[in-house]
Amino acid sequence: MSMNDDIKEVYFSAEEIGDIVKNLGKRISEDYEGKNLLLVSVLKGSVVFMADLMRSITVPCRIDFMSVSSYGSGTKTSGVVKLQKDLDINLEGYDLLLVEDILDSGKTLFYVREMLKTRNPASIRICTLFDKPDRREADIHADYSGTLVPDEFIVGYGLDFDEKYRNLPYIGVLKPEIYGEN
Ligand code: IMP
Ligand code: MG
């Protein structure tokens, strides 16, 4: 039984994602020349994107990870966010770039950004691989956005459904019966 059997349709192939990520890395490298770049990844969904993005950035940078949980089940975020794992690095003076897998309602990242602002970084910007602007509820937008996606629940390349499918190298939508099984 392969994970591929659960996929209804492939939206972005591994090659297409690769091109999108390289393009983001190029833009970021230009903009952060001479800055003090710190990439911050919010676990776990953005870990695959982070790993590829950092290797397409050509200027010096540091990385750090944090983890938050948003209470909510299935395919929606509740907006109530809890810090599970804090960053290791003291943010003072760093040019922070928050690396997100997907900006949906924006509630999670809004919370994270407000919290990190209080720690006096030199700047904060947001880089998201996927953006669902129609779903936005919080006042937040991405400075770097890989590509817009329709209002559908996607999996793969780090994105999960019920903690599965993160290891798919491409982005797809699941067959309807898979979402229903839970
Ligand atoms: P937000 O707070 O509503 O913006 O939720 C953002 C988080 O919800 C992302 O970091 C993902 O973990 C998750 N999420 C939102 N949309 C999707 C999707 O289509 N597939 C998988 N996870 C998603
Ligand atoms: Mg998730």
The mean per-residue pLDDT over the stretch 18-31 comes to 98
Could you read off the pLDDT of 75-117 as tens digits, one per residue? Answer: 666 667 889 999 999 999 999 999 999 999 999 999 999 999 9
Looking at ligand 1, which residue's alpha carbon is closest to its atom 10?
102
In this prediction, residue 179 has a pLDDT band, given cuts at 50, 70 and 90, of confident
Mutate-to-test residue for ligand 1 from 9, 43, 84, 101, highest number of ligand atoms within 8 A of CB: 101
Q: pTM to 2 decimals? A: 0.93
In short, whether 179's Cβ falls inside 6 Å of ligand 1 is no
Place of tokens 């922070």: 96
Q: Report whether the peptide linkage leading into residue 117 is cis, meaning its omega lies within 30 degrees of zero.
A: no
Residue 5 C-alpha from the chain's centroid: 25
Distance CA 67, CA 154 (A): 21
pLDDT at 182 over 60: no
Question: Out of 19, 104, 131, 162, which one is annotated catalytic?
Answer: 104
pLDDT at 43 over 90: yes
Q: Residue 10: helix, strand or coil by DSSP?
A: strand
Contacts of 31 (CB under 8 A, 6+ apart): none
Would you state the pLDDT for residue 1? Answer: 80
Could you read off the pLDDT of 118-138 as tens digits, one per residue? Answer: 999 999 999 999 999 999 999
In short, whether 178's Cβ falls inside 6 Å of ligand 1 is no
Contact 16/52 with Cβ under 8 angstroms? no
52 is catalytic: no
Distance CA 71, CA 112 (A): 15
